[in-house]
Amino acid sequence: MVTTPAWTQGSGSNGSSLTLAGVNGSKSVQNPKPIVGKEVINRLSVVETGIYLPNTPLFGTDGIRGRVGDFLNAPLALQVGFWAGQVLKAQSGTTGPIILGQDSRNSSDMLAMALTAGLTSAGLEVWNLGLCPTPCVAYLTSVSEAIGGVMISASHNPPGDNGIKFFGSDGTKLPAVVQKLIEAGIRGQMDSGNGTGAWGHQYYRPELVADYAKALQLPLIYGNGTEELPLQGMRIVLDLAWGAAAMLAPEVFQALGAEIICLHDRPDGDRINVGCGSTHLDVLQSSVKAYNADMGFAFDGDADRVLGVDDRGRPIDGDYILYLWGHTLEQSGQLPDSTIVATVMSNLGFERAWEKLGGKLLRTPVGDQHVHAEMLRTGSMLGGEQSGHILCRHYGVTGDGVMTAIHLATVVRQNGGSLAQMVDESFQTYPQLLRNVRVEDRDRRMDWESCEPVQIAIDRATTAMGDQGRILVRASGTEPLIRVMVEAATAELANYWTDNLVRVVEQHLAA
């Protein structure tokens, strides 16, 4: 059990309530410990500070994310921290700590300080972990007295971007209704009431990251039934993307017995995700072959996702990871109803191969929060995204790249063959093309579905392909992109309709 430091901030104030106007009607949540008077709320108002806020929601599929210096800046982070503190405190009815972590971006320190100022002004204690993976924040929040967690990261985005994502006391991402409450406060639609209160304090707690590392290792060390370490004798290449896993992941793999070769293995805010990591596998692919390694893993900037490379240098995406791990769990009776939860992006080849084994694949919209919600609704234990964001409720509360990688490596070692052999015996993918069209105008991007020429083009392509393929067009929730995905029985068909749809999107949305 993670506990608070011996000295804690005192409190003692009059009760008040948070009142929301204009978000799903009128709602009121009791807050037993108000923090600031109305005069301070007025000073923090959006209008008077001149903070730019887009007309579209601040919270996307993975929290608040954008180019630092545009709408994402220190004044906004201050208000995000303050209102998140108000809402989380009201939701929990207590003033437990907030656990805060960050990746290696140059802007992460600045945003951490602004968020901390907002959270402590809301009367909350902040435990600052420093550099750590996103799932570390989620795990420590779930096992401690914390009432919430916050991670500063833009995941796989380039160095100039950053983001803020919150977790509830159970370590899962905040539901949309709670995010709306926070945003309502930022937009001046919520009043915290009158009264004065105590200020919170920050504590630097990097030692807690070791607790997370131990939690990753224990199920494999004590669950393998032998005295050997679970990854003994394996040679594994790790691409750490100059990011949040640079220090932690090598220690975990080595503690499990693996021989490791590390790429891009220092925290570097100028180079995080640049030409490396889970979005650029070419260096890892060549390194796995050059070092005659058993496999390789590439993490993104905050290590909540991972992609693999087999011993022949071929990329292994989230669909293959789900199939291989799911098959192992199913054989040991740990996959209820033989069900895996995936998204609309997962390949038809994966779905049909899993069904051939007697399994069931449930699809959700893109976004790990949708996958997690469906897993909870159906009682499923394994789910994830093709992009490598994998959730296994046996071992964690959120998507975790390091956890996924060590378990997949263990599956391969227990199988006795190679990762390439296991992939060859799994399934063949349908030709699938994904093209990104950059649309800088946020409002136009998020409202793309109202563009009639694009809808006509989608309908025409869908009708033409019939049951020989499928189309998915969506706005990215994390980057200024419209994503166009076409999957078809033949590569020629996929290429033709992808080119057609991209031209229409470029003409009517990107122009």
DSSP, collapsed to helix, strand or coil, labels residue 144 as strand
Please tell me what DSSP assigns to residue 72: B
142 is catalytic: no
Tell the burial category of 219 from Cβ atoms under 10 Å away from its Cβ (0-12, 13-18, 19+).
middle
The span from the CA of 132 to the CA of 99, in Å, is 11
The span from the CA of 511 to the CA of 335, in Å, is 48
Q: How many residues does this entry show for the chain?
A: 511
| CA dist list (Å): 109 to 69, 134, 268 | 14, 15, 13
Tell the burial category of 440 from Cβ atoms under 10 Å away from its Cβ (0-12, 13-18, 19+).
exposed
The span from the CA of 390 to the CA of 401, in Å, is 7
∠ at Cα 414 (409, 418), nearest 5°?
65
Scored b (16 or more CB within 10 A) or e, 476-496 reads bbbbbbbbbbbbbeeeebbeb
* DSSP string covering 175-243: PHHHHHHHHHHHTT-EE--S-------EEE-GGGHHHHHHHHHHHHHSSSSSSS-TTTT-EEEEE-TTS
The span from the CA of 243 to the CA of 275, in Å, is 13
Tell the burial category of 279 from Cβ atoms under 10 Å away from its Cβ (0-12, 13-18, 19+).
buried
∠ at Cα 373 (482, 88), nearest 5°?
95
Residue 237 has phi, psi (to 5 degrees) of -95, 135
Mapping DSSP onto H, E and C, the string for 249-284 reads HHHHHHHCCCEEEEECCCCCCCCCCCCCHHHCCHHH
Residue 86 has phi, psi (to 5 degrees) of -60, -45
Query: Among 16, 155, 192, 387, which one carries the catalytic annotation?
Result: 155
Catalytic residues: 155
